Chain A
Amino acid sequence: AQSVSQHNHHVILSEAASLELGCNYSYGGTVNLFWYVQYPGQHLQLLLKYFSGDPLVKGIKGFEAEFIKSKFSFNLRKPSVQWSDTAEYFCAVNSLGAGSYQLTFGKGTKLSVIP
């Protein structure tokens, strides 16, 4: 069974600081990778996704993520965070095969940006 690990439970940054949130997955086959964000009081929404091609994926609001197959990683980055990026971030994966439609999520990383 596949699993997703997000290394940081809570990250606190000042505005303009750079962000990197770790995500590792355990599955040896072909995977699709997703980052979802949940702003306070709002529902989960997609930030970006990777399924093939250029391993550096750009998403909304200046976020990007890099798929490194050899490290089973899909870390999320942003060069300069804003107060409005305060939210909880979830990494998720699905893969070809039985149960392929299921998204397997990590536990999430809460990001607090201090003005």
Chain B
Amino acid sequence: GAGVSQTPSNKVTEKGKYVELRCDPISGHTALYWYRQSLGQGPEFLIYFQGTGAADDSGLPNDRFFAVRPEGSVSTLKIQRTERGDSAVYLCASSKAGQIQETQYFGPGTRLLVL
């Protein structure tokens, strides 16, 4: 079946601009996660959705970052006033019901470059 998909695959923007990154989870998965992977690092947690609500946003680095999942399926990560330090690969993952032992299935990521 279809896996997690993310668009765009690459995004180049200028410092100060606004960007939106989209994630389509596996159909039927109620849990959705965003992670950020900087060069030479492992993925770092940003936010977790159970259904439509953000159950844990403790990983968002500051208030320039915001994410939504209005219908409990597709999610959008929004970054305002982008900075060069925001350059990274943004990964989305989903799992069936959000139980902590469940496998999180990852998408291919969006590579964001802020010039």
Contacts and interface: CB of A to CB of B under 8 A. Distances in A.
Given A107-B40, A107-B41, A108-B42, A101 B59 contact: no
A100 interface: yes
Given A32-B100, A44-B106, A45-B106, A101 B55 contact: yes
B80 interface: no
Main secondary structure of the interface of B (DSSP, over half): loop
A49 B103 contact: yes
B107 to A, nearest CB: 6
Contact of B48 (A42, A90, A102, A106): A102
Interface residues of A, number: 26
Contacts of A46: 103-105
Interface residues of B, number: 27
A44 B48 contact: no
23 contacts: A4-B42, A42-B108, A43-B3, A43-B4, A43-B107, A43-B108, A43-B109, A44-B43, A44-B91, A45-B105, A46-B103, A94-B100, A101-B56, A101-B98, A102-B45, A102-B48, A102-B59, A103-B35, A103-B43, A104-B45, A107-B40, A107-B41, A108-B42
Interface of A: 4, 32, 34, 36, 42-46, 49, 51, 90, 92, 94-96, 99-108
